[in-house]
Amino acid sequence: MNLPKKNINIKGFTLVELIISVGTLALLGVLILIFFMSSSDLSLRTEELDYSVYHTNNIIESIKLNRWEENPLKNFKIIDISNDNTILSSLYDKNWNPTNEENEALFRTNIILKEESENSEKSLYNLRVQVVRLKKYFRSKENNPEIHSVNTSLYLDTILEDMLK
Amino acid sequence: MRKIINNSGSSSILVVLTFMMLIIFSLLVVMSSHSDYKLAEKNAYSTKEYYDLTAKANKFWYDIDSILLNNAEKSILEKLEDLKIYDSDSDLEASENIILISKSFLNSEGRELLVEFKYDNSIKKLDLITIKELPKEFEYEEIEFEDMEVYTQ
């Protein structure tokens, strides 16, 4: 029986073709990897920014209500009192739990309070709350990038010294 | 009839399609993350603006409280005059022993914060009674409302 004759090309790719294709695929692979890493970095930034906004609002509202004995204010420690500025600071780990260990800490929150003027019973305070990341982001040049900060003024019943007891 | 069979074509197509799919998905993921980040930034900016307006309201509160404390012995009408001199834009209402003060704070983005205070002359005390952000005014331009029949008994 005579079957139709088939010509099978068994030569495959040449070395140049292989080098070009592997090179192109490697470049595309790197591009894809950069896209995914940038995306993961952006997601991380988004999550941290959202939490920082929540955290900052929580701190300001707690100061308004004078809740220095409760979270989140109870974790703050005075680090400096100078030129009418009182600076308090608190460290947080990657899950936003308060920590005292500098090595574990990923975030630092600063409260800068300044008494602007006072009446007989109340005082006007200038308040700045700032959330800082202690480690660099992916492809970021800043060493301690500020995630979020809020400046405001508060007119409070309490005197600063009493608040910080 | 002579046929040339080359088996390398299908695998090449598969590799190219896989890479194209990966590139498209990675681009979509980056775009999605970017829009999420923009939204988070917008929220953060909006919060900052709110606290800027609150700061103005608190300074105003401090100023009017100082005026009222420094002139505690004056009559209610004299206090009203002092408050008018300090800020002619605020709305003032006075009754026998009470002064109601309200003021709106606007920012460059058009956001408006309304604060209302009540001063009781009998106990010489100023209280904040309202602090709220007013929604922006808008009108339906392209929607026409028909006259609807209202059921009445």
Q: Are residues A45 and B37, on separate chains, in Cβ contact within 8 Å? A: yes
How close does chain A come to B35, measured CA to CA in Å? 10
* Higher-confidence position of A27 and B10: A27
Check CB contact under 8 Å for A53 and B27. Answer: no
Per-residue pLDDT, B4 = 60
Q: What is the pTM of this model?
A: 0.82
Nearest CA in chain A to B44: A53
Alpha carbon B50 to chain centroid, angstroms: 6
Taking alpha carbons only, the member of B23, B123, B145 closest to residue B72 is B123
> Distance from first CA to last CA of chain A, Å, rounded?
105
Closest CB to A150: pick one of B12, B30, B51.
Answer: B51
Q: How many CB pairs under 8 A join A and B?
A: 108
Distances A1 to A6, A12, B3, B131 between C-alpha atoms, Å: 15, 31, 19, 99
> Does the beta-carbon distance from A9 to B37 stay under 8 Å?
no
pLDDT tens digits for A48-62?
999 999 999 999 999
Say what the pLDDT of residue B32 is: 96
Q: How does pLDDT run across B52-61, given as a tens digit for each residue? A: 999 999 999 9
Contact A9 B19 (CB under 8 A): no
What ipTM goes with this model? 0.83
Contact A38, A140 (CB under 8 A): no
**Chain mean pLDDT for chain A:** 86
Across the interface, whether the CB atoms of B40 and A148 are under 8 A apart is answered no
User: Structural domain boundaries of chain A?
Assistant: 16-164
